[in-house]
């Protein structure tokens, strides 16, 4: 199969999912979907981006900048998840409660505009193999997933973005900041802001594309693809520790995780007992 055929299938799905509201988080999946949907039928496409403490600031800036470039009809919303005690408790299905609030907000917008509007998400075919409780919230809300319906995988959608010369084609995965919290660690706005600022600072200082500052209770674990590269910079890690501890009383230790970056690790490990080789800084 070629990019041409992938686009044919995707455009066929988009052709029959109008008028529409496209949920756009700022990642490559939803950015591509919103771009193609808007370019196909700009008058029938509204893009919705939820802003809040769990959304990386870089993602919101990216959405706003691209929306201006493409002349999207963009709506910025507060999905209200921080008013939901079930979300704040950070259970293993936290994503369900997050998406439940997001899709309720989209349905509210739909009621104000046009009840015939279809709700679309950037979920792709590969996502169906992952642990994604948010998909149940999408099912309950009647959300459609054009990439899934067109049998488009993550590599395929990235190739579509490359062939379309879109600047975000190779954008690293950037899930919500609440995904940095180990299951059971309470979601707090100040903590997520600290995580966002710390990850951005590490990227600026090291040039690393992928950085995750996971938090378990009051311990921050800095997770990168090659931990040894960070550990060699003794002055940097000690300054990092001082920076984090000074910024917040929510963290009492900072650790360079000796294990390479692994998506979804905060869901996999229930506690830190197994991490006996972590380097405390």
25/158 same-domain check: yes
12/151 same-domain check: yes
End residue of a domain, out of 117, 138, 163: 163
- pTM, entire model: 0.91
pLDDT in tens, 87-130: 999 999 999 999 999 999 999 999 999 889 999 999 999 999 98
169 located within any domain: no
- Helix boundaries (H) for 114-206: 134-141, 146-149, 154-163, 189-206
Lowest mean pLDDT among 22-26, 120-124, 192-196, 202-206: 202-206
End residue of a domain, out of 128, 163, 198: 163
pLDDT in tens, 72-85: 999 999 999 999 99
Residue 250 DSSP symbol: T
The predicted model gives 254-278 an average pLDDT of: 68
Residues 6+ apart with CB under 8 A from 99: 133, 134, 137, 138
pLDDT in tens, 11-51: 999 999 999 999 999 999 999 999 999 999 999 999 999 99
Closest CA to 134 of 243, 277, 252, 25: 25
42/11 same-domain check: yes
156/185 same-domain check: no
71 located within any domain: yes
206/257 same-domain check: yes
Band the pLDDT of 166: cuts 50, 70, 90.
Answer: very high
Q: Containing domain of residue 224, as a range?
A: 177-280
232/199 same-domain check: yes
Does 22 or 279 have the greater pLDDT score? 22
181/127 same-domain check: no
Residues 6+ apart with CB under 8 A from 145: 120, 121, 122, 123, 124, 138
> By the 8 A CB rule, do 63 and 77 touch?
no
26/139 same-domain check: yes
d(CA 59, CA 25) in angstroms, rounded, equals 7
43/130 same-domain check: yes
d(CA 123, CA 70) in angstroms, rounded, equals 22
Band the pLDDT of 1: cuts 50, 70, 90.
Answer: low
Residue 276 confidence (pLDDT): 33
End residue of a domain, out of 163, 193, 221: 163
172 located within any domain: no
The enclosing domain of 226 has a CATH number of 3.30.300
Mean pLDDT over all residues of the chain?
92
């Amino acid at each position: 199969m070629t990019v041409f055929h992938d686009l044919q299938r995707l455009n066929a799905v988009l052709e029959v999912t109008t008028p529409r509201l496209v949920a756009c988080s700022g990642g490559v999946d939803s950015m591509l979907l919103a771009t193609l949907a808007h370019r196909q039928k700009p008058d029938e496409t509204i893009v919705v981006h939820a802003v809040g403490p769990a959304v990386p600031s870089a993602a919101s800036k990216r959405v706003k900048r691209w929306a201006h470039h493409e002349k999207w009809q963009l709506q910025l919303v507060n999905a209200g998840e921080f008013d939901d005690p079930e979300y704040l408790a950070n259970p293993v299905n936290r994503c369900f409660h997050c998406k439940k609030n997001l899709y309720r907000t989209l349905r509210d917008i739909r009621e104000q505009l046009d009840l015939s509007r279809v709700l679309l998400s950037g979920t792709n075919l590969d996502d169906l193999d992952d642990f994604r409780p948010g998909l149940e919230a999408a099912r309950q809300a009647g959300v459609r997933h054009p990439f899934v319906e067109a049998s488009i995988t993550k590599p395929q959608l990235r190739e579509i973005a490359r062939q379309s010369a879109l600047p975000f084609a190779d954008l690293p995965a950037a899930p919500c900041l609440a995904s940095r919290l180990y299951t059971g660690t309470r979601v707090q706005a100040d903590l997520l802001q600290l995580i966002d600022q710390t990850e951005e600072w590490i990227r600026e200082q090291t040039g690393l594309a992928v950085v995750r500052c996971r938090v378990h209770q009051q311990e921050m674990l800095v997770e990168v693809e090659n931990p040894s590269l960070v550990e060699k910079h003794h002055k940097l890690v000690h300054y990092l520790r001082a920076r984090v501890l000074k910024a917040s009383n929510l963290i009492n230790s900072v650790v360079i995780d000796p294990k390479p970056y692994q998506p979804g690790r905060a869901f996999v490990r229930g506690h830190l007992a197994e991490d006996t080789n972590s380097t405390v800084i």
